[in-house]
Structure 1
């Protein structure tokens, strides 16, 4: 699944266009490497997001095309947040 779509479906970032902008500015890393919005996300990947003055590291646990609000939390595990 594309990075921008994963961030939107998992509700880490509310809109896909914003996820695309953040990724294309180089503020998202997958397994320590800078990732563009079209990068492929797989189960087990660690995603580091830097937006505003906040840094968040999450591990991808599950990939699904659509989710309900309460199921979105099951798609990832927050490893650290600062």
Structure 2
């Protein structure tokens, strides 16, 4: 599954266009490597996402094409959240 689609389906980022923009600005890494919006995400991958002053590290638990709001949290687990001042 494409990175931008996973971020939208999992509701880590609300819109796919925003996910694409963040990825294309080199603010997302998959397993330590910079990723573009079209990079393939697999179960078990570790994503590091930089939002402004917050960095979030998540592990991909499952991949689905669509989810309901309450099921979205099952697609990933948060490993770490740090705030940069």
- TM-score calculated relative to the size of structure 2: 0.96
Match of 2:4 in 1: 4
Distance in 2, Cα, partners of 1:52 & 1:69:
24
Give RMSD over aligned pairs: 0.3
User: What's the offset of the Cα at 1:76?
Assistant: 0.1
For 1:31-71, what per-residue CA distance to the aligned partner results, in whole angstroms no more than 9, with x for missing partners? 00000000000000000000110000000000000000000
Q: Which runs of 5+ in 1 are unaligned?
A: none
Aligned residues: 82
For 1:2-52, what per-residue CA distance to the aligned partner results, in whole angstroms no more than 9, with x for missing partners? 000000000000000000000000000000000000000000000000011
Match of 1:71 in 2: 71
Task: Spell out structure 1 runs of 4+ moving beyond 6 A.
Answer: none
Distance in 2, Cα, partners of 1:38 & 1:15:
15
Match of 1:32 in 2: 32
Match of 2:48 in 1: 48
Distance in 1, Cα, partners of 2:73 & 2:51:
19
Match of 1:17 in 2: 17
User: What's the offset of the Cα at 1:72?
Assistant: 0.1
